[in-house]
Structure 1
């Protein structure tokens, strides 16, 4: 496929409209095709109060776009022979050996099998998330302030999860969850280093990601994009969205320091927590595209790269669904979503396209077959507007 630059006006107009109508205060985007940037732009503000515009060095809270980075580090350890996909996690976290599953009637049932590393990578461990509606286990998470308390250490978070029941039997269902946080606590034990040091040595340094990390220095705080939103991290939606209502956001400024600290030297998570720029995260995306850093250094072998892009969900476990929101056509690999059935997709995409997103409207995709990738950055929690997927669809409309 060839990129048609004459067709990017629709994408730009869409973003400008989202900002002009008050859905977002600032949006940045970048598209790459065959290793070259073919489109990039920014609209709106980094700081609305001072009317400071977005710029190339603006920093964003990645939220769940942290997960693919942590997952790739896990795959590196597998390549080194330090882990296997079928390893049971109780080998490193004994407290998970005695977990039980909370039944629909409130009874506790024994696990039919142990949780494995693959279960954690594919969100089939039976864990849950605070914000998932109608989930009794999520209610327990909220009561324990798992998402709200960013001061809790990664190991303490893992221990708290082990002390609570599972929402589902391991391996039976794709259920978005704290799985990557539990995985990260195992990675610390396997490597013998804090997660931040692991990622710095194995990924950020070789990839030249000097702007990415779990903390911000005092001199970089002014570069952080302002956060807006309609609900706190971990807070369940108030009610199901009206299908007949046009999706709309309210620009309410939010302080998320308690759940997403920027100066705590001990803060690290597997599922959220990283700060980064558009250009820095693009360096990581090159690993998912080619397995290599821009310098040519091999980060993941070709066999591992091919392996991570395979959909591992059964037909019964598809499509992936978060709460009531389904993602038609998408399965899940070892790092993120994978488009497995374009006949079911509701937006333009390509077979094998994949990536992930963050709670505050960060989003990326990588399409190896078409050598096409893109990234979108905004900062809005609980958005009703599907910014990233909409921009992705408009981006695919530029290919001929």
Structure 2
């Protein structure tokens, strides 16, 4: 059974102001006219109904090809939440335990070592677990997250590794790369979710893409979400500006789905999707694991996934290491989770959860306000941080109840 299309509703019927929602398009057009943004698609659901779907700007800025609402984007780290959900589906079946050491599923990772501050390696106080991978407390990192010898020991980005190394080579490289700290003692963004993808493949006996298509994308009707871009969909693929609008230099290297085929499915950053597809995924989570009568995840599993799993002492880790506007956020099993109203330099509510993609994509869910929002743009570089805050403010100012 496939979930039906999200029902449409006039904004006022779900407590949103049409007049105030128009400010979203107006603000984005100003960014496009200033050549800071090629284009964007915004999808807003409230109370389970699609109240706003808008595309502005260009799909291909060089060719002046207009952006449509069904444009396909490389969503980068927005892939992570779906991979995390895949792991939790296996947890629901008793096939994976959150407290299991990662090496129970990937034996080469049994020999992981921790980098000592003064140089050298030592055994970790305990091995990284599945929960550590989900909440990014494993000690794994990305090469570009620092300049230490430990960082340099890692492969390139998830996408680089997926395009240039086999899965076995990637696992072997990660087994040799040092952890930055003892698992569970700090928070660090990195290859953790790609390792989760390898765990899914080991347990399920199929590729991550095949598992997600069977258990998530298919049931939710996410027809344009995949790790590959079909030839007949390439005309819908969104491209970035060639020049970084902040630095004036070339934009950071972007994985385009029309480029090299991945040798393995990167659970940390390899998927493509549309605003409508991804909205269906996060609306399923907001609705407690169901969408349109289709049961995808258990309500208790969703509560576990969207709860904060970081100690209180980790209060500013997300803001310090990833997103300066996210003060006061913790991290659940796949999402950053807001611990209280206020503190963060962006609108929201205690209990809201979000994440983003390095190329400029972003989403969040606010259970208290019954909101689910997807913002898709090809806007890499530091300017993407501005758009995260801007979209939050534009959506919350449109609340009318």
Q: Same fold (TM over 0.5)?
A: yes
Task: Provide the TM-score with structure 2 as the length reference.
Answer: 0.89
Task: Provide the TM-score with structure 1 as the length reference.
Answer: 0.89
Among 245, 248, 252, the alignment partner of 2:246 is 248
8 Å Cα contact 1:154-1:181 kept in structure 2? no
In structure 2, C-alpha distance between the alignment counterparts of 1:37 and 1:153, rounded to whole Å: 40
Change (3 A) 1:324 1:4: closer
In structure 2, C-alpha distance between the alignment counterparts of 1:260 and 1:152, rounded to whole Å: 17
In structure 1, C-alpha distance between the alignment counterparts of 2:254 and 2:263, rounded to whole Å: 17
In structure 1, C-alpha distance between the alignment counterparts of 2:73 and 2:322, rounded to whole Å: 27
1:358-385 residue CA offsets vs partner (Å, 9 max, x unmatched): 0001000011121111110011222334
Moved more, 70-79 or 41-50: 41-50
Q: What pairs up with 1:118-157 in 2 under 5 angstroms?
A: 118-141=131-154, 148-149=160-161, 150-157=163-170
Could you tell me how far 1:2 is from its partner in structure 2? 3.1
8 Å Cα contact 2:76-2:271 kept in structure 1? yes
1:274-298 residue CA offsets vs partner (Å, 9 max, x unmatched): 0111111111112211134533111
Residue of structure 2 equivalent to 1:243? none
8 Å Cα contact 2:310-2:330 kept in structure 1? yes
Could you tell me how far 1:13 is from its partner in structure 2? 2.2
Residue of structure 1 equivalent to 2:277? 280
1:163-214 residue CA offsets vs partner (Å, 9 max, x unmatched): 1111111001111111000111011000011111111101111111111101
1:127-150 residue CA offsets vs partner (Å, 9 max, x unmatched): 0112213443222226x6765342
Secondary structure at the counterpart of residue 141 of structure 1: coil
1:214-233 residue CA offsets vs partner (Å, 9 max, x unmatched): 111122112111134678xx
Q: Is 1:309 paired with 2:322?
A: no
1:280-317 residue CA offsets vs partner (Å, 9 max, x unmatched): 11111122111345331111111111111111111211
Secondary structure at the counterpart of residue 283 of structure 1: helix
In structure 1, C-alpha distance between the alignment counterparts of 2:192 and 2:60, rounded to whole Å: 33
Q: Is 1:56 paired with 2:69?
A: yes
Q: Is 1:318 paired with 2:315?
A: yes
Kindly indicate which of the two structures has a greater share of residues assigned to helix: 2
In structure 2, C-alpha distance between the alignment counterparts of 1:163 and 1:230, rounded to whole Å: 36
Moved more, 60-69 or 127-136: 127-136
Among 2, 9, 24, the alignment partner of 1:11 is 24
Could you tell me how far 1:268 is from its partner in structure 2? 1.0
Change (3 A) 1:64 1:213: same
Residue of structure 2 equivalent to 1:358? 357
Residue of structure 1 equivalent to 2:8? none
Residue of structure 2 equivalent to 1:238? none
8 Å Cα contact 1:288-1:305 kept in structure 2? yes
In structure 1, C-alpha distance between the alignment counterparts of 2:29 and 2:123, rounded to whole Å: 53
Change (3 A) 1:321 1:135: farther
Where structure 1 has 5 or more consecutive residues not aligned to the other structure, the ranges are 232-246
Residue of structure 2 equivalent to 1:196? 209
Residue of structure 2 equivalent to 1:289? 286
Moved more, 153-162 or 44-53: 153-162
Change (3 A) 1:61 1:145: closer
Change (3 A) 1:249 1:196: same
Secondary structure at the counterpart of residue 388 of structure 1: helix
Residue of structure 2 equivalent to 1:244? none
Change (3 A) 1:106 1:331: same
Residue of structure 2 equivalent to 1:72? 85
Q: Is 1:212 paired with 2:211?
A: no
8 Å Cα contact 2:44-2:371 kept in structure 1? yes
Number of paired residues? 383
Secondary structure at the counterpart of residue 335 of structure 1: coil
Q: What pairs up with 1:80-229 in 2 under 5 angstroms?
A: 80-141=93-154, 148-149=160-161, 150-228=163-241
Residue of structure 2 equivalent to 1:337? 336
In structure 2, C-alpha distance between the alignment counterparts of 1:339 and 1:172, rounded to whole Å: 20
Moved more, 261-270 or 168-177: 261-270
Residue of structure 2 equivalent to 1:389? 389
Moved more, 88-97 or 203-212: 88-97
Q: CA RMSD in A?
A: 2.3
Could you tell me how far 1:250 is from its partner in structure 2? 4.2
Moved more, 375-384 or 45-54: 375-384
Residue of structure 2 equivalent to 1:239? none
In structure 2, C-alpha distance between the alignment counterparts of 1:393 and 1:84, rounded to whole Å: 39
Residue of structure 2 equivalent to 1:264? 261
Moved more, 285-294 or 372-381: 285-294
8 Å Cα contact 1:45-1:53 kept in structure 2? yes
